[in-house]
Amino acid sequence: MLLWLGKDPNSQSEADLAPREEALLKIRPYVRTIHSSQYIEDSRTARSAFAVGYSGDVLQARDRAAEAGRRSTSAT
């Protein structure tokens, strides 16, 4: 979020962290979960609309979606 706001992503400055918190709170109602690997299963069950992951995991998620008869788009 800091990078998106044009700030140093490693900043610990309160002046940088306050706008980050404000921006995150605005999108919070739209975020269902933050998980490092749950999207692999979610792609099969259509629970996720968007995921960011490692290329091998994304390919696995794509394959699970295909096995379930769902169309999946992946960019690796």
- Return the domain boundaries, the chain: 1-31, 32-76
Residue 59 pLDDT level (bands cut at 50, 70, 90): confident
Residue 73 pLDDT greater than 70, yes or no: no
Residue-wise pLDDT tens digits, 8-47: 999 999 999 999 999 999 988 888 777 777 777 777 666 6
Angle between helices 55-67 and 38-45 (to 10 degrees): 20
Is it the case that residue 48 has pLDDT exceeding 80? no
Whole-Å CA distances, 74 to 8, 30, 43, 44, 48 = 29, 21, 11, 13, 13
